Structure 1
Amino acid sequence: MRDTELYRHLLGLESPWTVAKVDLSISTQRVDVFVEHPQGQKWACPVCGDLLPVYDHSEERVWRHLDSCQFQTFLRARPPRVQCPKDGVHQVRLPWAEPKARFTLMFERLAIDVMQVTNIQAARQILRISWDEAWHILSRAVQRGLLRKEPRPIEHLGVDEKSIARGQRYFTLVCDLNRGTVEHIADGRDKRSFESYLESLSEEQVEAITAIAMDMHEAYFQAALAKIPDAQRKIVFDLYHIMQHMTGAVDEVRRAEHKALSEEGDNRLARTKYMWLYGQERVPRKYWGQFLYAAQKRPQNSQSLGAKGEPAPHVALQTPLSGHFLLEELVFLGHSLSARSRHQGSEDAEVT
């Protein structure tokens, strides 16, 4: 079998496409496969499907294909263009790659399989591609998935902010918590970032939402109130951020008490920051003696450091957070939510 015939089979090419020649470079470990079509061939308009003669050809393009015996393989061709009376001049569809792609469909399929089991850095090393090329493939895969995605009701919604570029830039992430899928990504972390997603939902999708998990970011809170009916009963502040605020408040109390005790020459609270942040059932044995010594002289704010001198227990939330009840009871009363925008109390809200 000739090399041209071999690569026609490897590429999966069918008429009218054929392999004209194959260039092999041992020094660069590269294979270039040149593809062409016969003269007089008619092509379908990519818009309406009408068969039309060749108008002209684009400049030669190069697509990365699957490696051949560890040699990087590239497909080269000049895509034909047609002039449709109805739709104008367009490049015809190519069987081995999507429009504007730099890789063949076979290579992109392999790349996505690799990226699903590893990170971008490892994937680009395995595939021998650049960061830009890896993200190009990933972005195209996401776009294909979004085009195939059908609207569906989401019962439990999650919204959060993520930082990139060392915290210099933020984006908003909206997820379906039941399915574990990303539903929306938007630049920024303002009210509009979340509102734009909520406005894209149908009336049925909005009514299907029964809970919205978020941190205490004011912009997301206000967006939910503006776009979700009865949002004050559906918003759930996630436990991670609640505990983050609570442990922060505990540490503020520790520092204040340590300062007061230090002025009396008592340093028993020195270097005990992390000791007080453990749940009482998780205090490491190495802290037991130090904790008992520190507890002999109770800090003034015993409610913050534990009613019996032990670290404050974790909060177990049995129902969605609602109302000013929790905002008034928990230690992070300095949160920026205005009195007008706080939740209205719920009879079934409990904290244990």
Structure 2
Amino acid sequence: MRDTEICRKLLQLEEPWTVDRVKVDVQARELHAYLVAGKSWFGRPSLVRPKMRWRHANVGAFKTFIHATLPDNREQQQGPSFLGQVDRDFTHGLAQRVVECLKAGLGYRQVCNLLEIDVYLAWQIRHALGEGQLSAEEQPLDHNPEASSSRQIPPTGDPVWFRLLESEESIDIHLLGLRLLLARCRQEFPALSSNDAKIMRVNTVRRFFIKHEKQLDHEISQLLELKRASQAGAES
């Protein structure tokens, strides 16, 4: 059986997609699959260079990368697990694996180690989850409190989180755990040089709000008031 056919079966490709060629780097433990929509010309490799590259879930012990060009009329929000969105570095399949690990109770660093993905890629997936930008199949824990709480708690990209962590905004905190977490994050925040690192701290605080939402009515109401005040100040 040809290597392209083996790869097609491993990736569980759906028509009209097929594997045009495969590149395996044994030393780096990387598998690169080049996909085309339709059969290659007389069995020869296509001369068209794929426009997108996504990190996929590992195939065996090999880090897997998918190279493909999406048709112009393709619906980007939905798609087979072996493809991704144009503006993302990960496939739907990898995002789903991350969600499954989170459902099992793993933390993001544990997910990175298990799936062999770097922190930056994990942050992309984490950010997409927090913003509700993934498809319904990729969203985590429909029966988990996080699913409904994110509708009230501001998303990761909301400036209110930066305002909360960059200054000593006075909000009355009843829950000791949140008080300690905010004190630590506020101490670390000014020393963080990259925006990605700051977003990671924001996510830490936001996930605490989500996890303990039922105990944080008092604090959440103040957070939302802080958000409204910020919006009013920006508009005036």
TM range (shorter): 0.5 to 0.7
Per-residue Cα deviation, 1:166-211 (whole angstroms, up to 9, x for no partner): 34469675558576799x98xx9795237689xxxxxxxxxxxxxx
Structure 1 residue runs of 5 or longer lacking an equivalent are 40-56, 83-90, 198-352
Q: Which amino acid aligns with 1:8?
A: R
Residue 187 of structure 2 aligns to a residue whose secondary structure is: coil
Give yes or no for contact 2:149–2:210 (8 Å, CA) kept in 1: no
RMSD after superposition? 4.5
Partner of 2:88: 101
Aligned CA distance change for structure 1 residues 124 and 70 (closer, same or farther; 3 Å)? same
Partner of 1:112: 99
Q: Which has the higher strand share?
A: 1
Residue 14 of structure 1 aligns to a residue whose secondary structure is: coil
Q: Tell me, in whole angstroms, the C-alpha distance in 1 between the residues paired with 2:15 and 2:151.
A: 45
Partner of 1:279: none
Aligned CA distance change for structure 1 residues 145 and 11 (closer, same or farther; 3 Å)? same
Q: Tell me, in whole angstroms, the C-alpha distance in 2 between the residues paired with 1:12 and 1:145.
A: 25
% same residue: 20
Of the three residues 107, 114, 118, the one matched with 1:126 is 114
Q: Which amino acid aligns with 2:114?
A: I
Partner of 2:18: 18
The one of the two structures with greater contact order (alpha-carbon pairs below 8 A, sep at least 6) is 2
Indicate yes or no: 2:53 matched with 1:62: yes
The count of residues paired between Structure 1 and Structure 2 equals 167
Look at both structures and tell me which one has the larger radius of gyration over its CA atoms.
1
Per-residue Cα deviation, 1:18-70 (whole angstroms, up to 9, x for no partner): 1111112212211111100239xxxxxxxxxxxxxxxxx99621111122220
TM-score (norm 2): 0.53
Q: Tell me, in whole angstroms, the C-alpha distance in 1 between the residues paired with 2:134 and 2:63.
A: 31
Partner of 1:3: 3
Q: What does 1:42-57 correspond to in 2, within 5 Å?
A: none
Q: Tell me, in whole angstroms, the C-alpha distance in 2 between the residues paired with 1:145 and 1:79.
A: 19
TM-score (norm 1): 0.37
Structure 2 residue runs of 5 or longer lacking an equivalent are 40-47, 137-146, 153-173, 191-200, 232-236
Q: Tell me, in whole angstroms, the C-alpha distance in 2 between the residues paired with 1:147 and 1:32.
A: 25
Q: Tell me, in whole angstroms, the C-alpha distance in 2 between the residues paired with 1:3 and 1:23.
A: 10
Indicate yes or no: 2:69 matched with 1:78: yes
Give yes or no for contact 2:10–2:59 (8 Å, CA) kept in 1: no
Shift of 1:13: 1.9
